Structures are given as structure tokens and as C-alpha cells.
Structure 1
């Protein structure tokens, strides 16, 4: 399963633990694909949050996140993260530097998301990211250096290009054997797909009468 997400994504965080549970239960290899979200979203015609209506922002950062946090039993802060619009390319690079899959990247990716949405962490602050890495059993200084490096940043850029090619329009997007599912509220369908792949009808191209 390919897992496209941004390091500051609310819904990636809300679904993170459940996603790992699904993969573990069904012996699915999860491939992390951290992306830079804004260019991907904007390429599909969606507005960045800075350009959306206040009503939409209030709904997203208020009721919707609160409801899902309660449902998933996930702790969240009660306001829009202070540094939500900061540069999270280093955080994304550090995730990429740990590899595409495995327990180390699973733990660190979740910790990054959790720090932002539970602790109001600044994901553009190197010292903060190093501390999170240390708490996950990594060498924070080394991982930060690798995350800022050309190789890790190239992986994030390539992931973002892949997302564009797949018409990904939000975070998280889970791709099960080529079949995309957008949003952590689709995790029940994701779990079904790993057991019984969905065969879509061609309703998008009806026959000409």
C-alpha cells in the first residue's frame, strides 16, 4: 500500500494508528510517500487553506477534526496549530531518510504528526525535529542532516510528482494495488480492499445512445 501524506496533515494523524493496525493485521507492506501538499492540491484545482473561506476553515479545524479525534480516540489541540503554515520540508525529508517502510519510519512519521497536532510543535524547527527523532530512538543530528540533504529531498520531490501523476488531491491518500482512497475516513474501505479488491464499473464513461 502506498501512503501519500504531508507531515503536517490532520487527517493523516487521525488515521495513523488505525492504518498501522490494518497493515499489521492483514500483513500489508506500507510504503511511506511523504509529499509537499500545497502544489499537489493546487494542481487539482483545490484552494490552499489560506485562500479558503473562514466558514470552511472553521469547520475543518473545529468540528470535523474534533469529531474524528473523539471517534479515533486520538488527542488533539483545540485550535489551529500555531505553525501550521510553516515549511515542513525538513520534517518530510527526515521521514524519507529513514526509508520507505518498516517500524522506524512508522514510529517517526506518527511522532511527527502527533507532535504537530497534540503538542503544537513547529515542524520547521530543526531542534524540535531532532528532539522528536531522539525520542524515537534515532540520532537526531544525523537524521536532520540526512533529511536536509539532496537525496532525501529528491525522494520527497519524486513522491510529490508521483502524487500529481495519480491525481492525488489531498492527504492522506492510500493506494491499494493501484486503487486510491482519499481520507482517513476511508480506512474501513481500505481494509476491505486489502482483503477483497474492488472492481469498479465504468460509470464515468457511459455508452453513447
Structure 2
């Protein structure tokens, strides 16, 4: 069975915008989705990108405004029309809830989608254990048990390991999908992911010139 390694943060706008489409692709092509939630800022900054608080207002306005609006309309995904109130909150516990359910399977897929949806549709606080308990219960889980596992050293260490691994793979944003070693960055590449599942792209034959510092 083919697999897709899915690297994303639990509060990523574009992971949310592509989530339903990704799940549909996996079902269509009988693909196992391997979840690798990460802490996004360390991954992004390792590739030399600026954190959002250091970017220009024009860039932030574009990212949290028109770009999200257009893709939400295109994908027919409900989304709030402002930057989420708790976007800068700690989402490590929410990430741990995904990890606690395993790397793959229907329960993991559902939890990942629901967490992203809660943040971008419902303006939920992903750092609030009460909110996370409600999400877990809505999906049929024993909320307190799942949250305890999510907060455990094992799950939090796995989140750190995912983030370290993503840096070694030169991942520079969320979401990134890896199909048979070929990485696709951004939910706007999902159509290319679909093509890769049917017909792998040719190996790259270009060379990257050295860039002077």
C-alpha cells in the first residue's frame, strides 16, 4: 500500500484548507497517511525563513487575508475571516493528542482534521485542555485518558523528534507531503500529489547553482 508522509503543524491554515482534499485522495488511491505533526517555528527557522512576528505587515495581511480566503472558497472549506484569536498559543498538547493515537489510521485522520478545523473554523484555543477534552469526546475518545497520554514525555518527545526529523528532510513549511521520497510543499500541490500517486514524476535533472552569501 502506498504511503504519504504528512508533515504539518496543528494550527496550520493551509494544512486545514487541504485536509479534506488530502483525506479524499488517500481514500481514492488506497493510501496510508503517515502523520508527523511538528512544532512549526523551529522547522521554518531552520531553513532561514523568518517567523511571522518578524515579517512585514503586508506579508502577514496577505497570508492571513486574501490567500486564505481564496483557497477556502476554492476548496469549499469554512474558515473564520480573521487571524485566530489564539494563534500564538502553545499547541504542543493538541499535537500530542494526534501523536497519542498513532501514526496512521482513521482515528488519527479524524483527530488531525478536527483540531485544524476547531482552530480555523471555530476559533478554538488549542492550548486549553477543556477545549481539547471536548474535541476528544466529540470523536468518541476517553478525553482525560487521551489528554494524559498527549501530555506524557513519550508523546512530547515524539513531537520534538518529528520536528528534528523534518529539519533533516529540509522541510520548510506546513503542510508538506512526501510521496515515495518526493516532497510537495503546500496544499496547493495536492493535485500534483494526486498525479504522483498514479505516475511518479521523473527524477530532477537540474543542478542548483551555488549562491554567494
TM-score (structure 2 length as normaliser): 0.95
1:185 aligns with 2:188: yes
| Partner of residue 148 from structure 2, selected from 145, 150, 153 | 145
How far apart are the structure 2 equivalents of 1:134 and 1:67?
32
| Partner of residue 48 from structure 2, selected from 45, 48, 54 | 45
How far apart are the structure 1 equivalents of 2:63 and 2:150?
30
Shift of 1:155: 1.3
How far apart are the structure 1 equivalents of 2:207 and 2:7?
25
Q: How does 1:103-182 map to 2 (within 5 A)?
A: 103-182=106-185
How far apart are the structure 2 equivalents of 1:201 and 1:160?
26
| Partner of residue 34 from structure 1, selected from 34, 37, 50 | 37
How far apart are the structure 1 equivalents of 2:102 and 2:55?
34
Give the match for residue 18 of structure 1. Answer: 21
How far apart are the structure 2 equivalents of 1:51 and 1:6?
19
What is the DSSP-based 3-state SS (H/G/I as helix, E as strand, rest coil) of the residue aligned with 1:119? coil
How far apart are the structure 2 equivalents of 1:192 and 1:182?
15
1:91 aligns with 2:94: yes
What is the DSSP-based 3-state SS (H/G/I as helix, E as strand, rest coil) of the residue aligned with 1:82? coil
1:4 aligns with 2:7: yes
Structure 2 unaligned blocks of 5 or more: none
Give the match for residue 78 of structure 1. Answer: 81
Give the match for residue 202 of structure 2. Answer: 199
How far apart are the structure 2 equivalents of 1:71 and 1:164?
31
Structure 1 unaligned blocks of 5 or more: none
Q: CA RMSD in A?
A: 0.9
What is the DSSP-based 3-state SS (H/G/I as helix, E as strand, rest coil) of the residue aligned with 2:121? helix
How far apart are the structure 1 equivalents of 2:208 and 2:44?
25
Deviations along 1:55-113, whole A, 9 cap, x unmatched?
Answer: 00000000000000000000000100000001000000110000000000100110000
Shift of 1:34: 0.4
User: Deviation above 4 Å: which 4+ runs of structure 1?
Assistant: none
How far apart are the structure 2 equivalents of 1:73 and 1:120?
18
Aligned residues: 206
Shift of 1:204: 1.8
Shift of 1:144: 0.5
Shift of 1:202: 2.2
